[in-house]
Amino acid sequence: MLRENALENAAQLAAGSSLFVPGAERELPIPPPDPPLMTRAPVRRRSPSSIPRAGVQRLDPAALGEPLAWPAPGVLISGFGERERDHHDGIDLACPEGTPVRAAEDGIVLFSGEQRGYGNLVLLAHDRDVVTVYAHNAKNLVSQGDKVSRGEQIARVGKTGNATGPHLHFEVRVGTQPRDPLGFLR
């Protein structure tokens, strides 16, 4: 087919090129491409101190005993709070795919599975009605009802659900209310 189309190698083909196919009976129309389901949102990298916190309710970390441990090493790419179209109930940490996700505190696995938007998701229940949320995981490593220790690996960073790249979405909830995780982390 390369010879019939005067091409030296397949790398010379470009999207939308016409090809002569020996033995073909008729020319087939090329359908237009489907519109993208999602578009990439611009990523704004910020330092933790530059993220606005006005109006955010916080639980005094001292009320929990010691601060929560960071669930993964990474770069903070999105903070808690109002965004252009919605409210972001957690923080996003950019990490290489497969990076270990660790429990921020001792707890019990409330949920380990897939949920729309969040992709692979783990919810941990802790003392004082605190729940931590770990989303977009490549793989969950715990099951509902498991007891986990602070720092124990519970998942691997991924890009499942509504994620444009590998990162960990981390939330802290007190009761049912999302709170700024940066107020709980050391």
All residue ranges of the chain with pLDDT < 50 are 37-41, 43, 46-58
**β-bridge mates for residue 120, sequence order:** 114, 137
pLDDT score of 86:
74
CA 179-181-184 angle, 5° bins: 100
pLDDT score of 54:
40
The SS3 call for residue 64 is helix
> pLDDT (tens digit, 9 = 90+) per residue, 6-33?
767 766 666 666 666 666 666 666 555 5
Cα–Cα distance measured from residue 116 to residue 138, given in angstroms and rounded to the nearest whole number:
15
Contact at 8 Å (CB) between 171 and 90?
yes
pLDDT score of 64:
60
Residue 139 token pair:
């793989």
pLDDT score of 14:
65
- Delineate the domains of the chain, giving CATH numbers in brackets: 61-183 (2.70.70.10)
Residue 26 token pair:
């008729």
pLDDT score of 53:
43
pLDDT score of 156:
98
Place of tokens 């509902």: 144
